[in-house]
């Protein structure tokens, strides 16, 4: 069992938790993920490692309340324990040899982009961070990003936070103004990663995206997380989750991501009713 040591809400739908998992904390690196189950009957879902503390033996996860499992998880409190917390899985984000990087985060994807930006910053890499959210109340990790970035741009779809516009608008402006990057690392919703990749392709800037498809075992066994990258089948769990954004078939990934949407909607409604009853 893996105990919840700390919990806070980052915004109305995003929760941060620190979980006691010393063996996972010992080896975790930015870019890797864990598979969790809330309880004995729960489904296995992947969550990217948002941070870790090797000494304290804790791993931080940040997740959005989107489906039945994340809602169940979000309803758990400090002192409760998760049935399973497996990891670190997948390959860490490559940082060797980088000197100037633009880190692009979108929505809850910022939770995954932040540890990457932090690690790059600690390695002495120049980090330009561009993060985007739908609206003011969804903004997360703003101070954290500022503290590890040489340049920081906050964007919002409705103009209520930072600048009005998309992350691609800000990135284009930076590139057009003469900023040079060895690499762009984009982590967020699939459409965001797709359009960042399309943009950087025009400028010939290498771009890495972090894919988060549906998974079960997370060890290469089921093939559920398969993607087409450069015309080849890849498993996100063992070959990724980081891939060359210029080669990923995003449209296919979006379609695969929606496979259980009706099931999820049903489960979510069921879950809401259950949780509501619990609150009475």
Residue numbers at the binding site for other proteins (CB under 8 A): 23-24, 27, 37, 41-44, 68-69, 83-89, 216-224, 226-228, 233, 238, 249, 252, 255-256, 258-260, 263-264, 267
In the complex with other proteins, which residue's Cβ is closer, 83 or 174?
83
- Least Cβ distance, residue 73 to other proteins (angstroms): 12
Distance CA 192, CA 173 (A): 16
In the complex with other proteins, which residue's Cβ is closer, 173 or 267?
267
Q: Output b/e per residue, 105-127; b: 16+ Cβ within 10 A.
A: bbbbbbbbbbbbbbbbbeeebbb
In the complex with other proteins, which residue's Cβ is closer, 42 or 165?
42
Asked whether 153 and 73 are in contact (CB, 8 A), the reply is no
Instruction: Scan for tokens 């909607």, then name that residue.
Output: 265
- Least Cβ distance, residue 262 to other proteins (angstroms): 9
In the complex with other proteins, which residue's Cβ is closer, 89 or 101?
89
In the chain, what is the straight-line distance between the N-terminal and C-terminal CA atoms, in Å? 28
In the complex with other proteins, which residue's Cβ is closer, 75 or 222?
222
> What contacts 274, CB < 8 A, 6 or more positions away?
none
- Least Cβ distance, residue 225 to other proteins (angstroms): 9
In the complex with other proteins, which residue's Cβ is closer, 103 or 236?
236
Got the DSSP string for 7-76?
EEEEETTEEEEEEE-HHHHHH--TT-EEEEESSTTPPPEEEEEEEEETTTTEEEEEEE--SHHHHHHHT-
- Least Cβ distance, residue 251 to other proteins (angstroms): 8
- Least Cβ distance, residue 84 to other proteins (angstroms): 5
- Least Cβ distance, residue 280 to other proteins (angstroms): 21
- Least Cβ distance, residue 46 to other proteins (angstroms): 13
Q: What is the DSSP letter of 3?
A: E
Distance CA 239, CA 47 (A): 16
Asked whether 214 and 224 are in contact (CB, 8 A), the reply is yes
In the complex with other proteins, which residue's Cβ is closer, 32 or 168?
32
Distance CA 270, CA 253 (A): 27
């Amino acid at each position: 069992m893996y105990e919840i040591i700390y919990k806070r809400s980052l915004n109305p739908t995003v929760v941060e938790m620190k979980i006691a998992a010393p063996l996972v904390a010992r080896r975790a690196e930015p870019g890797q993920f864990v598979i969790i189950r809330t309880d004995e009957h729960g489904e296995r879902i992947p969550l990217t490692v948002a941070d870790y503390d090797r000494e304290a033996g804790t791993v931080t996860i940040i997740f959005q309340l989107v489906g039945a499992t994340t809602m169940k998880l979000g309803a758990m409190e400090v002192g409760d324990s998760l049935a399973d917390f497996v990891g670190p899985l997948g390959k860490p984000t490559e940082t060797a040899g980088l000197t100037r990087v633009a880190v692009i985060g979108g929505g809850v994807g910022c939770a995954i982009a932040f540890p990457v930006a932090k690690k790059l910053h600690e390695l002495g890499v120049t980090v330009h961070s561009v993060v985007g959210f739908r609206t003011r109340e969804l903004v997360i990790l703003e101070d954290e990003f500022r503290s590890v970035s040489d340049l920081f741009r906050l964007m919002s779809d409705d103009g209520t936070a930072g600048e009005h516009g998309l992350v691609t608008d800000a990135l284009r402006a930076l590139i057009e103004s003469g900023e040079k990057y060895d690499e762009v690392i984009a982590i967020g919703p699939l459409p965001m990663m797709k359009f960042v990749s399309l943009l950087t392709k025009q400028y010939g800037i290498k771009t890495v995206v972090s894919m988060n498809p549906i998974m079960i075992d997370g060890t290469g066994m089921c093939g559920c997380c398969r993607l087409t990258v450069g015309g080849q089948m890849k498993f996100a769990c063992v070959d990724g989750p980081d891939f060359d954004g210029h080669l990923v078939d995003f449209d296919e990934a979006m379609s695969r991501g929606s496979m259980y949407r009706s099931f999820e909607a049903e489960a979510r409604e069921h879950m809401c009713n259950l949780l509501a009853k619990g609150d009475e």
